[in-house]
Amino acid sequence: MSGKEIEKKHHQTFDSIKQINEHGAEFWYARDLQPILDYGSWDKFKNVINKAMTACEKAGQITHNHFSQVGKMVRLGSGSTREIEDYQLSRYACYLIVQNGDPVKPVIANGQTYFAIQTRRQELSDDAVFQRLREDEKRVFLRNELKEHNKQLVEAAQQAGVQTSLDYAIFQNHGYMGLYGGLDAQGIHKRKGLKKSHKILDHMGSTELAANLFRATQTEEKLRRENTRGKSKANLTHFQVGAKVRQTIKELGGTMPEDLPTPDKSIKQLEKEQQKLGDGK
């Protein structure tokens, strides 16, 4: 089985154990997630859950909103039953668990990408303010968010050994090639009909910007989490994350980023228009 086939199987498995409560909200049982993440011992998995809960608290979240301790009745070999400890986990809780899991396990790496992307998609869909924005406003919002995360990505890449402007251009191209099915920045320009002077990110719709935001944030986290050292390893990491984001888009039935339409107006044009409107008030 190829790496992509294994990854697809894991993603399908994560979805297959998802539960829906009486209020229509999704959740996962920790006991169901444990074997999928390749933890044979509940005690070892419980340590990961505890780390995730600490991370949740440090992020300013209410822990019990994401980690709800419950009891589950199981049948023993003798025919009797007993209650065991379990948790109902939100998607965000699952994301934190895989973030704190053993990175050596391939399924952990797949889970990190899967839950990160799905969590971010859910955050945006649940954000009432974001949903009320028009497409142009969403583009500006996501572009500004991407600018901030790209600064963090530059810093993480530098720590990994990506030092010069040429190094970073090559590093960025690896991320694009992973996400865009082999197309580098020049190839994307050509595919989208952009001029050399055009910045690729300024000519993307909100869906394409969101995909690139996932790519940037997850690459930065992976570089830091795995303490990546060396330009080649950093480039490979960026490519792999881009490819995983692409695979997830495919599994969700989405349009590949290179096939998404190019908006008529650039982000700079939209920002100028917004500024004029603001000055006119």
Model confidence over 259-269: pLDDT tens digits? 999 999 999 88
Provide the pLDDT confidence category of residue 186 given band limits of 50, 70 and 90.
very high
Tokens read off for 4: 């992509």
Assess whether pLDDT exceeds 70 at residue 159. yes
β-pair type (19-20, 67-75): unpaired
Over residues 182-209, mean pLDDT:
93
Closest CA to 113 of 264, 245, 258: 245
Percent of the chain scoring above 70 in pLDDT: 81
Question: Where is pLDDT greater, at 277 or 201?
Answer: 201
Residue 226: Cβ within 10 Å count:
14
Question: Where is pLDDT greater, at 187 or 107?
Answer: 187
Residue 99's pLDDT is 79
The DSSP H or E segment spanning 150 is helix 135-160
Residue 148: Cβ within 10 Å count:
11
Assess whether pLDDT exceeds 80 at residue 132. no
Domain ranges of the chain: 1-126, 135-272
Residue 8's pLDDT is 44
Assess whether pLDDT exceeds 70 at residue 106. no
Residue 30: Cβ within 10 Å count:
26
Percent of the chain scoring above 90 in pLDDT: 41
Where is mean pLDDT largest: 8-22, 33-47, 156-170? 156-170
Over residues 137-145, mean pLDDT:
84
Residues 6 or more apart whose Cβ sits within 8 Å of residue 60: none
Tokens read off for 274: 């917004």
